[in-house]
Amino acid sequence: MTAPRDGAPQPAPLGALRAAVPTAPCRSGGPGVVAVALSGDQMETAVHALALSGGARLADLFALPAGDGLEAGGPELALHLVYALDHDQTYCRLEAPVTGPEYARLSDAAPAAFVEECEIYEQWGIRPAGDKHLNRIFLSPLAAAPLRTAAPVTRRARPGPGEVRAPHVVQGEAFEFPVGPVRGVAQESLYLGLVTTGEELLDAFLAFFHKHRGVEQQLRGRSPDGALFLVERTEGPGAVGNGLAFARAVEAATGMVPPVAAEATRLVALELERLYNHAAATAALCQATGLGVGQAQAEILLEECLRLNAAAFGHRYLFNVVAVGGVRRGCDAAELRRRLPVLCGELRRVSGALLATNSHVDRLEAAGVLSEAAARRLGLVGPVARASGLDLDTRRDHPTGPGPAGRLLVPTRSTGDVLGRLQVMLAEIDETERLITDWLAADAVLPAVAVAVAPVPGSEPGTGVREGLGWAESSRGESLAFVRLGPDGRVVAARQRPAAARNWRAFDDALRSRNVFTDVAIIEASFWLTVAGYAR
């Protein structure tokens, strides 16, 4: 870590921001969030100041109609930038109005913003200044149907058919090998254009638009609970992480505070989600290296994890556990106490045996290498970032409620390869077991068998628009959600940023690091992302 955790009372990146744009009004945006309103021409200055300060990580960028302006004629738009100030336990949310069809290009100072710049162009028709080619992110070139989105306001710019991705040349011995969108059995739809000479991978182009469902538009007009229902089904294996981030966003907007027991129950569910995802990634890695018995062993444990989820929370994938302001279901602590140590012991035995199997480990070492610089530049999160040496974990850096603040061990590796990512995940399993065991032992925050769901907020006549930012450390990394509630308590606009939306952008970098064709499946398993979380 570069900057000290303690230090000046004014956090360094915030200080740099205030010095760069002294006139911008700065207010609290809920616990752990600072909201800064910028004018259109201040935005570029602020982005540069934060980029130079160090310690500010661009976590998300999106555009929404300014204020509650939802008139059909075409609302004023505002850009929202979410910076994570990881050393200062703060998220900094910048909002700047955009007038006209262009805004200052942000991806020069903050390269992580490029995907979102493309996304904003497709969604709202505004683009960064300059003639940079924008890639197609969400809109399929094949979907020629007229626009009939349920959302009242989207100014979708339909890019021309040529604008699918940046022009590129595949020449010499190389050719582009198309894989997908219909891929292996029970794999998610994804197009992979692998540029190869037959063995070595030279480049890769990914297309995600086949699965785009427009979830964020579908959230508009729903009650917070109805929106949470869809948020959980955006990315099934991230239901708790994304759902918790969304619930916390609504709670931040309405000032609700979930009961301590409910919060502890949610965190147990979040850790169980981490456990089964890491077991699933282990199984997928064995499948990718062709270690059949290891795969079977890991799949047995994955199934046991899912059965434990069902026994403790009534759902194999922990849907319907998180609720706005609490939990919908309690947790069967007795089942957890009885089965968790056995399961984690088995997981340790299998993973130990895997790490002692040379034919397996040799395939993982030095495959899919991501440098720390690349991980930082692209704003990666979760085990992928931690395996490349970024010491990030929102559970520690942005604590909420009765979390494990201060005593959470965050495993990191510096190799940045597949083996590093596997080692990080296996180390996290140990930490997960310790956390759940601690919560089960602590009487004060013992997960209750049933915690009443608080009434959905804002049903009483409120005062205007309320906004909130929420976050959670899902198994794939930091999941963010932003929500704006109308006076009637319904969702006016929402933004979801699952960890998968972040980490896929490093996948082609990892593929390019001198790998061969058969490494693709191994690298994909080690990232353990979902297409659903990206193409939401």
| Residues binding another protein (CB under 8 A) | 140, 142-143, 145-150, 181-189, 209-214, 218, 225-226, 229-230, 233-237, 239, 280, 283, 291, 293-294, 296-297, 299-300, 302-303, 306-307, 310-311, 314-317, 319-320, 328, 353, 357, 359, 530-533, 535
Report the nearest approach of another protein to the CB of residue 223 (Å).
9
When the beta carbons of 306 and 375 are compared against another protein, the nearer one is: 306
When the beta carbons of 156 and 377 are compared against another protein, the nearer one is: 156
When the beta carbons of 373 and 449 are compared against another protein, the nearer one is: 449
Report the nearest approach of another protein to the CB of residue 100 (Å).
26
Using alpha carbons, select from 269, 271, 226 the residue that is nearest to residue 250.
226
Report the nearest approach of another protein to the CB of residue 387 (Å).
22
When the beta carbons of 8 and 185 are compared against another protein, the nearer one is: 185
Report the nearest approach of another protein to the CB of residue 439 (Å).
22
When the beta carbons of 189 and 437 are compared against another protein, the nearer one is: 189
When the beta carbons of 314 and 402 are compared against another protein, the nearer one is: 314
Report the nearest approach of another protein to the CB of residue 14 (Å).
37
Q: Which amino acid is at 20?
A: A
Three-state DSSP class for residue 102: strand
Residue pair 319/329 in contact (Cβ under 8 Å)? The answer is no
CA dihedral 469, 474, 478, 483 (to 10 degrees): -20
User: CA-to-CA distance for 293 and 297, rounded, in angstroms?
Assistant: 6
Report the nearest approach of another protein to the CB of residue 293 (Å).
4
Q: Are strands 477-485 and 57-65 parallel, antiparallel or unpaired?
A: unpaired
DSSP annotation string for 196-228: ESSSBEEEEEEE-GGG---HHHHHTTS-HHHHH
Question: What are the structure tokens assigned to 214, written together?
Answer: 């427009």
When the beta carbons of 315 and 512 are compared against another protein, the nearer one is: 315
Task: Please report which residue ranges of 8-79 form alpha helices under DSSP H.
Answer: 12-20, 42-53
What is the gyration radius of the CA atoms in the chain, in angstroms?
Answer: 22
Identify the helix (H) or strand (E) that includes residue 532: helix 531-534
Query: What is the sign, positive or negative, of the torsion defined by CA atoms of 342, 343, 348, 350?
Result: positive
DSSP annotation string for 270-328: HHHHHHHHHHHHHHHHHHHHT-HHHHHHHHHHHHHHHHHHHHHHS-TT-TT-EETTEES
When the beta carbons of 188 and 431 are compared against another protein, the nearer one is: 188
Question: What are the structure tokens assigned to 511, written together?
Answer: 């593929």
Report the nearest approach of another protein to the CB of residue 138 (Å).
9
Report the nearest approach of another protein to the CB of residue 528 (Å).
11
Report the nearest approach of another protein to the CB of residue 323 (Å).
10
Report the nearest approach of another protein to the CB of residue 41 (Å).
35
Question: What are the structure tokens assigned to 37, written together?
Answer: 């309103």
Using alpha carbons, select from 104, 143, 151, 142 the residue that is nearest to residue 124.
151
User: CA-to-CA distance for 176 and 283, rounded, in angstroms?
Assistant: 29
When the beta carbons of 355 and 465 are compared against another protein, the nearer one is: 355
User: CA-to-CA distance for 249 and 471, rounded, in angstroms?
Assistant: 7
Report the nearest approach of another protein to the CB of residue 148 (Å).
5
Q: In whole angstroms, what separates CA 75 from the centre of its chain?
A: 28
CA 358-360-364 angle, to 5 degrees, is 105
Q: Which amino acid is at 332?
A: D
User: CA-to-CA distance for 384 and 504, rounded, in angstroms?
Assistant: 10
When the beta carbons of 398 and 490 are compared against another protein, the nearer one is: 490
Three-state DSSP class for residue 398: coil
CA 490-491-495 angle, to 5 degrees, is 170
Using alpha carbons, select from 383, 435, 415, 394 the residue that is nearest to residue 513.
415
HEC profile of 103-137? ECCCCCCCHHHHHHHHHHHHHHCCEECCCCCCCCC
Report the nearest approach of another protein to the CB of residue 128 (Å).
24
Report the nearest approach of another protein to the CB of residue 385 (Å).
21
